[in-house]
């Protein structure tokens, strides 16, 4: 039922005005389609607006972005399984180092998660491959010197 009241946001048929910048002039942005299902392709934005950029202009940047996600995933696994603190170290200092390592691990893990939320199949595979290789090197028994280590990491297991 239409009563002729064209109030903004009330379905009166008026389109919202374009956004204004700080100087009060209208901005026109080129909108990129956001995928909500997995897709294959090199034209994708990962983590930052405009990065890695158009595959037509800079095709190598897509592979740089995949390598970045791959390395981030390996770093998350390394932080999850590293032993940097010596036994008998100061409890307060050790606690602060643990807290900083935990914050770093969580921050990197969230960056990997946000990259995967681009829904690009290549980004997803790079993240899974990085976590897999990182676990193989740092978490599995393949490269461990002892059979039953008493402590496997300075950090508790990640809860994801």
Task: Give tens-digit pLDDT for 125-145.
Answer: 999 999 999 999 998 888 877
DSSP β-bridge partners for residue 120: 39
pLDDT of 160: 53
3-state secondary structure of 120: strand
pLDDT of 14: 57
User: Average pLDDT, stretch 20-34?
Assistant: 59
Q: Please write the tens of the pLDDT for every residue from 52-95.
A: 776 677 778 899 999 999 999 999 999 999 888 888 888 898 89
Instruction: Confirm if 149 and 81 have CB atoms less than 8 A apart.
Output: no
Instruction: Confirm if 102 and 19 have CB atoms less than 8 A apart.
Output: no
The pair of structure tokens assigned to 115 is 């990259």
């Amino acid at each position: 039922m239409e009563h002729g009241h064209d109030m903004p946001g009330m379905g009166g048929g008026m389109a919202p005005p374009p956004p204004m910048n700080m100087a009060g002039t209208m901005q026109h942005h080129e909108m990129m389609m956001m995928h909500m299902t997995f897709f294959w392709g090199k034209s994708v934005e990962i983590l930052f607006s405009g990065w890695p950029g158009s595959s037509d202009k800079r095709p190598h940047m897509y592979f740089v972005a995949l390598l970045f996600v791959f390395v981030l995933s390996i770093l998350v696994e390394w932080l999850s399984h590293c032993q940097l603190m010596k036994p008998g170290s100061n409890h307060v200092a050790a606690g602060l180092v643990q807290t900083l390592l935990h914050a770093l691990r969580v921050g990197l893990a969230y960056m990997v998660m946000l990259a995967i939320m681009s829904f690009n199949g290549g980004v997803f595979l790079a993240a899974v491959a990085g976590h897999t290789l990182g676990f193989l090197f740092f978490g599995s028994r393949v490269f461990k010197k002892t059979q039953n280590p008493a402590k496997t990491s300075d950090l508790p297991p990640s809860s994801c």
